[in-house]
Amino acid sequence: MFSLDSVITAVGMTENMIVIITVVVLSFALMLVAARYIFAFVNRHPTVKMLALSFLLLIGVFLIADGFGFKIDKALIYGPMAFAIFVELLNLTAARRRAKRSAQREVEPVHLHQQYVDDTGSVKEVQPVE
């Protein structure tokens, strides 16, 4: 969705100028709307940011190898990427459940003894009021 080469491919599939203009305008509008939410999600989850960067690196290496004539089966690229996304979804779900459980636990506050100095100058302990 965010790839400019996808827009160029869609544009190159037709000679109808109305379709070309519509595709380009809709794709940019969709990118502008979705980018805000994707940016916020990725910034909230640093592991997703690292995963996305590793995918970019992997695809870059794949494109460079393809440019030098090495043919790599796409299943060898997209299969592990799909597995990594699945594992990351499991991690995000587990983190959300862990945060929800810890928020539900009521923490008993620590009752401290208060000290005060009486008229004679001696320190006395005061029992906490409950």
pLDDT in tens, 69-127: 988 888 888 898 999 999 999 999 999 998 888 877 767 777 676 666 677 777 666 66
Residues 85, 17: Cα–Cα separation, whole Å: 38
Half-sphere exposure of 115 (CA within 13 A, CB side): 4
Residues 46, 82: Cα–Cα separation, whole Å: 18
Q: Are 83 and 76 in contact (CB under 8 A)?
A: no
The mean pLDDT of the chain is: 81
Q: Are 77 and 62 in contact (CB under 8 A)?
A: yes
The structure's pTM equals 0.57
Count CB atoms within 10 A of the CB of residue 58.
Answer: 15
Residues 29, 9: Cα–Cα separation, whole Å: 18
Mean pLDDT of 60-65: 89
Mean pLDDT of 46-67: 89
114, β-bridge pairs = 126
* Dihedral class, residue 5 (left if φ above 0, else alpha if ψ from -120 to 50, else beta): alpha
Asked if pLDDT for residue 2 goes beyond 60, the answer is: no
Query: Tokens representing 11?
Result: 């544009």
Mean pLDDT of 32-49: 88
Residue 90, pLDDT score = 96
Contacts of 112 (CB under 8 A, 6+ apart): 128
Confidence of residue 11 (pLDDT cuts 50, 70, 90): low
Pairwise pLDDT comparison (88 vs 7), residue with the higher score: 88
Residue 74, pLDDT score = 84
